Amino acid sequence: MATKATKATKATKATKTGVNASATKAKHRASTNSILARAFLRPETDQTRPTQAKMGERGVMFHWGLYSVPGFMKPRRDRGNGSEWYWSWLHNQDTRFAGGSPQVKAFHAKTFGDRPYDDFMRSFTLDRWNPDEWMDHVVTMGATYVVLTAKHHDGVCLFRTNTTPRNTVDAGPNRDIVDEFVRAARKRNLRVGLYYSWFEFGRNLTRDYIDEIMMPQIDELRAYQPDLWWFDGHWMLRTKCALHAVDEVCRKVLNDGAAINDRIATPAMATFHTVRDRYVPDEDTDPAPGPWESIQSVGPGWGADKHSADAAFWTADQVQCVDSLVRRLGGNILWNLGPDERGQLIPRELNPLLALPPPPFLFLNTLT
């Protein structure tokens, strides 16, 4: 039985943990607000307008997968993970560290009953998807590169693979989404990036996973010859085995001539730095080292969001100010879009990006 002193110590630790968690959330909200404040209070002028050599580029990332079917994210006051974490919120225990969400489970039970997550593949129809139309929008936005979530944390592959039946070629729409995406982008001289998650929900990064899933999938995706790799899930690289495997992957793709971000085992191997989600470095107190990129979303999450209030989405003015702030600091800005399960882009995300003025300098190839 615990002594009174032990109970008191545990209570103190719990209090501190709660305070730290609250402080972290408050800091994140303050960071988002400060970005907007910096953007609005420091508009571009003749004195602050950068030279061509310093101006960053604009890119567009598409978060697309089975999570687009529910399009529901855990309710929260700040911006964070969106519907792309639906699998985790649905299956994990409802504790702060386990990643479950009682709100998501209640929504799922009410909307889909006992329908399993992978059954969303039947609803992931793509019947309204026109990849050429997507790329036309990207060109209108003045972007020079695009990124697609070839595989997110849910482990569902949007490409032809021999590693798992959980892919869109053998199931669901029966289409190689990555192939169609790459072809449409290259017709418009856009550089192509592939997002790849190092881990999958509900699985450990074991030697078997690395040898039978991760390494073969990387080789399969290399066949599409992406210009850049946008890796994620680096916080799960906890073993020497995983770290060494990721280093090997990076050596392979660098040898292919591709650019890579630094969400990897050895960040020094990266060709550009991706700052933390929705962050903009401060040029005076926190300058980003070397070529860098800021990923931003118009809405509160990344995957399709069908349920958040319109007030949770940035206006065209807010988007334009943040875009200008990042690019005049010399960084690339990667804007996110979360299409629905039919392949349609959601207007309240799309329209503010279409309203962006064309950047004065294009095709600087600052990622490589």
In 3-state terms, what secondary structure has residue 29?
helix
Amino acid in position 165:
P
Quickly state the pLDDT bin for 186 (edges 50, 70, 90): very high
Q: How far apart are CA 81 and CA 9, in angstroms?
A: 33
Mean pLDDT (the chain) is: 85
* pLDDT for position 329: 87
Length of the chain: 368
Q: What is the token pair recorded at 1?
A: 């039985």
* pLDDT for position 287: 63
Phi and psi for 271 in degrees, rounded to 5?
-95, -15
Q: How far is CA 354 from CA 134, 139, 192, 364, 365, in A?
A: 12, 9, 20, 21, 22
Residue range 309-337: mean pLDDT, rounded: 93
Q: How far is CA 323 from CA 6, 55, 97, 317, in A?
A: 52, 11, 33, 10
Please report where in the chains the tokens 């593949």 appear, as a residue. Answer: 121
* pLDDT for position 95: 60
| Residues 78/71/158/339 CA torsion (nearest 10 deg) | -80
In 3-state terms, what secondary structure has residue 74?
coil
User: 155-159 long-range contacts, Cβ below 8 Å, gap at least 24?
Assistant: 155/197, 155/200, 155/201, 155/203, 156/65, 156/66, 156/118, 156/121, 157/217, 158/64, 158/65, 159/220, 159/221, 159/224
Taking only Cα atoms into account, the Rg of the chain, rounded to an integer number of angstroms, comes to 21
Q: Which residues of 120-136 are buried (b: 16+ CB within 10 A; e: fewer)?
A: bbeebbbeebebeebbe
Model confidence over 225-279: pLDDT tens digits? 999 999 999 999 999 999 999 999 999 999 999 999 999 999 999 999 999 998 8
Q: How far apart are CA 352 and CA 334, in angstroms?
A: 14
HSE (side-chain half, CA atoms, 13 Å) at 214? 29
Tell me the pTM. 0.85
DSSP conformation class of 157: B
Residue range 192-206: mean pLDDT, rounded: 96
Higher-confidence residue: 206 or 79? Answer: 206
Non-local (6+) Cβ contacts of 323 within 8 A are: 58, 296, 333, 335, 356
Residue range 49-69: mean pLDDT, rounded: 78
Q: Which of 211, 282, 219 is nearest to 244 (CA)?
A: 211
Q: How far apart are CA 18 and CA 147, in angstroms?
A: 37
For residue 163, pLDDT beyond 50: yes
- Domains annotated on the chain, with CATH: 58-354 (3.20.20.80)
